[in-house]
Chains A and B, each alone.
Chain A
Amino acid sequence: MLKIEDLHVSVEGKEILRGINLEIGAGEVHAIMGPNGSGKSTLSYILAGREGYDITKGRVLFNGKDLLEMSVEERAWAGVFLAFQYPVEVPGVSNIYFLKAALNGIRKYEGLSELDAMDFIATVKGKMKELDMDEKFLYRAVNEGFSGGEKKRNEILQMSVLEPSLCVLDETDSGLDIDALQIVAEGVNRLRDPKRSFVLITHYQRLLDYIKPDFVHVLAHGKVVKSGGPELALELEEQGYAWVDEKKAS
C-alpha cells in the first residue's frame, strides 16, 4: 500500500529525515517509535503533504502512485488520513458541516453521489456513540474549546466517518488519560480491516498495549535504526531510548 524509498527531508537547510525506507502492506499496523526530535512528526506531515519541507531525495508510493506529486486534498480523497497530534481549531465552522463537506469531497472523488443528510447524521451519531461522544459536539465549532481528550476523539470520529485506507496517527495517545485512551484505542481497533493500514507514531509503548502493531520501527536521528515485531516495543519500554544514542555514538 505504502512504500517509502530513501526519503530525505530538510527544513530550512537542516536535514530531519536522512534516508527512510519503509514498506507497509494492506491491513498491517506499523508502529513508529522514537525519542523526541527523531523526525516522527515530520514523517507524518510529509505523508499528508504539509508545506515547508524540502524533500531532497527519495520517493513515496501510495498504491503505486507518486504520493509526493499529489496535493493535500488529493491525498485525503485517495485515502490518506492524518490524525493530528494537535488538532486545529476552526472557529465558526460546525463539526457536522465540516464532516459532511469532507465526506462529500471524498465521495465525489470516488464518483459517488452526495450523501443524504438524514443518512449522514444517522451514521455519524452511531459512530459518536461508540466513541462515547455527546451529540452536542456535532453542532460545536471544529475543535474549538474542546479538551485535549475530546479533540483526539474527534480525530478518530472523523477517521471512522471518512473511512480512509491509510491512517497515520501522530502521538494520538498524548494528553489522554487511561479511560480516554481505551476509548480511542477501541475506536481504532474497530476500524482495523484487511484493506486498511495504520501507522502509529508514538513515543511510548502505552498506546501499543491497546492497539497491537504487526511491526515496530525505531526512528532516531532521521533514520529507521531498528525494525522488528511487537516485542521490540516492550524492549524499548524497558530500556528507554538511551541505547539509540549509544548506538549512534558507536
Chain B
Amino acid sequence: MAASNENLKDMIGQEYKDGFVTDIESESFPPGLNEDTIRAISAKKDEPEFLLEWRLEAYRHWLTMEHPEWAFVEFPKIDFQEISYYSAPKSMADGPKSLDEVDPELISTYNKLGIPLEEQMRLAGVAVDAVFDSVSVATTFKDKLYEAGVIFCSFSEAVKEQPELIKQYLGTVVSQYDNFYAALNAAVFSDGSFVYIPKGVRCPMELSTYFRINAANTGQFERTLIIADEGSHVSYLEGCTAPMRDENQLHAAVVELVILKDAEIKYSTVQNWYPGDENGVGGIYNFVTKRAECREDNAKVSWTQVETGSAITWKYPSVVLKGDNSIGEFYSVALTNNYQQADTGTKMIHHGKNTSSTIISKGISAGHGQNTYRGLVKIGRKAEGARNYTQCDSLLMGDQCGAHTFPYIETKNPSATIEHEASTSKISEDQLFYCMQRGISAEDAVSMIVNGFCKEVFKELPMEFAVEAQALLGISLEGSVG
C-alpha cells in the first residue's frame, strides 16, 4: 500500500532534506593525484604490498586512458588534480574500537539521516555499515552476523582480517583496468563495504551501507565487494546523501558481486546524492561501475535502483551470466528534475545455457531533466536457450525535458528469445481531470500516477526502502506540476 496522499503532499513541499553539513574536524589530503597520493592512501590503511601494487597498476593504466565521451550527459571537464582523494574525521584517526569511542557528532549525523547507530536505537533486522567521506565509521550487528558466519565489515578491515578472500576476489568482476572511472577507483579507493556469506547460509538480516559525503572538494571512491558462496542468500541495501554545495563533487564507486552455485544476491540502492539546485548549480557526479557475476550454475542476482539524486547519474549495474540457468534482474526508477541528467541502464551478458534476464526500467523526466536508458543485452554463441525480457518506459512531465532510449541487442545464438519493448507517455489531461473530478488535487494525482508508474520497481525493494523511495519521488518532483 502506497503512502497516503497527505504524506505525499507534505513531502512535495520539502526541499532536499539531507543537505546539512556536519561540522567536524577532518584530516584531508591536499588536492592532487600522483603515485605518492596512492602510496599515502595505502599507508594510511596499512595495506599489504599486493594491494598497493594493484592500486599502482590501476593508476598507471588510468594515465593512458581517455575520458569516455559517449554518454548522453554534459558537464565541464573534471580536473583530477583539484580533488582531494582522502578525507576522514580526525576522531577516526586512532580507529575507535567500539561505538562508544566514535565522535558523538558523527553518530548524531547518522541519527539526523534516520540511520541510528547506537545499540538501543538500531533498525531492527538491518545491519548498517556507515561510511563517512573516505572511511567507515561503524558497522552494527557485526557480532550477531559473525555467529551466523557472515562477514560484514568495512573494506579496510577486510583487507586486514581477510586478506585471502580479498586477494582471491578483488577485481575479478571489475578489473583494475575496466574503464576510466573504475581504474581511477582502483587506484584511490579509500573504503567501502565487504560481505562474505559462507556456503549454505541465509543471511539472518538485511545488510546495508549508508554513504555520506561531507567534506568539500573531496571525491568519494568507495569499493564494495560481496561474495555469496554456494547456496547462500543475502539482501543488501545502500543509501547515499550529501550536503548542499555549489561545487560539483565526484563519486566514483565500484561494486563487485560474486555469486556462486545456487546462491542469490539482492542488491538495492536508493540513491539520493545532492542533485544540485533548481538552476543546476552544484550536485554530485555519480559515476559508478557496478557488476555482478553469476559465476556458477543457478546463481541469481537482482539489482534494484531508485535514482532520484545526483546532478549526473552515469551507471549501468550489469550481470555476467556465466553459470547455466543463472538469472539476472534489473529494476530501475530514474528521475531527473530541474537540470539533472541521467544516463543509466544495465548490461546483461549471457554466456551460460538457459540463462535468463529481466530488465524493467522506468524513467521520469521533469523540468529540464534529461533521462537516458542505455542497455545492452548480449547473447553469446554458447548461451543455448537464453531469454531476455526488457521493458523501458518513459514518463515526460513538461515540455523542456527529454527522454531517450538506447538499447543494444546482440544475439549470436538462434535459440535465444529476446523481447524488448519501450514506450513513452505523459500524464494525460484526461487522467488528471478524472482524478480531480473525484476530489484529488492535481499534485496528488501526479504523485499517485508517478508512484503507479514505478510500482513494478518499488515492489522489488525491501519494505523500509520502498517507503523511502516513494517519499523521495514526492520531494524530487517538487514544482514540476505546472
Contacts and interface: CB of A to CB of B under 8 A. Distances in A.
Interface of A: 48-51, 71-73, 75-77, 81-82, 84, 87-94, 97-98, 100-102, 104-106, 109, 114, 141, 158, 162
A73 B5 CA distance: 14
A48 B433 CA distance: 9
Nearest to A164: B439
A224 to B, nearest CB: 24
Contacts of A109: 439
B340 interface: no
Given A49-B436, A91-B453, 16 more contacts: A49-B437, A50-B433, A73-B439, A73-B440, A73-B442, A88-B428, A90-B434, A93-B448, A97-B2, A98-B440, A101-B5, A102-B435, A105-B440, A105-B441, A114-B4, A114-B6
A105 B1 contact: no
Interface in B401-450: 428-431, 433-442, 444, 448-449
Q: How large is the interface on B (under 10, 10 to 19, 20 to 34, 35 or more residues)?
A: 20 to 34
A158 B438 contact: yes
B75 to A, nearest CB: 33
Contacts of B444: 101, 105
A76 B441 CA distance: 10
B434 A73 contact: no
Contacts of A106: 439
Contacts of B429: 51
Contact of B452 (A49, A81, A91): A91
Interface centre among B6, B436, B438 (most CB of A within 10 A): B438
B435 A104 contact: no
Contacts of B428: 88
B393 to A, nearest CB: 10
Contact of A72 (B6, B433, B452, B455): B433
B466 to A, nearest CB: 14
A222 to B, nearest CB: 22
B451 interface: yes
Contact of B1 (A48, A87, A97, A141): A97
15 contacts: A73-B440, A75-B437, A81-B437, A82-B437, A90-B431, A91-B453, A92-B453, A92-B454, A94-B452, A97-B2, A98-B438, A98-B440, A98-B448, A101-B448, A102-B439
A97 B439 contact: no
Contacts of B434: 84, 87-88, 90
Interface centre among B5, B6, B435, B453 (most CB of A within 10 A): B435
B399 to A, nearest CB: 17
Nearest to B453: A92
A70 to B, nearest CB: 11
A248 B299 CA distance: 77
Contacts of B433: 48, 50-51, 72, 88
A71 B440 CA distance: 11
Interface centre among B434, B449, B452 (most CB of A within 10 A): B434
Contact of A88 (B1, B430, B439, B455): B430
Contacts of A73: 436-437, 439-442
Given A91-B452, A92-B449, A104 B5 contact: yes
B449 A93 contact: yes
A76 B440 CA distance: 9
Nearest to A52: B429
B5 A105 contact: yes
Contacts of A76: 436-439
Contacts of A49: 436-437
Contact of A105 (B430, B431, B439, B451): B439
B440 A102 contact: yes
Interface string B1-18: 110111000000000000
Contacts of B2: 97
B203 to A, nearest CB: 31
B430 to A, nearest CB: 5
A51 B437 CA distance: 12
Nearest to B455: A92
Contacts of A114: 4, 6
Contacts of B448: 90, 93, 97-98, 101
Nearest to A107: B439
Contacts of A90: 431, 434-435, 448-449, 452
B438 A102 contact: yes
A75 B435 CA distance: 12
Given A101-B5, A104-B6, A92 B437 contact: no
Contacts of B442: 73
A90 B449 CA distance: 7
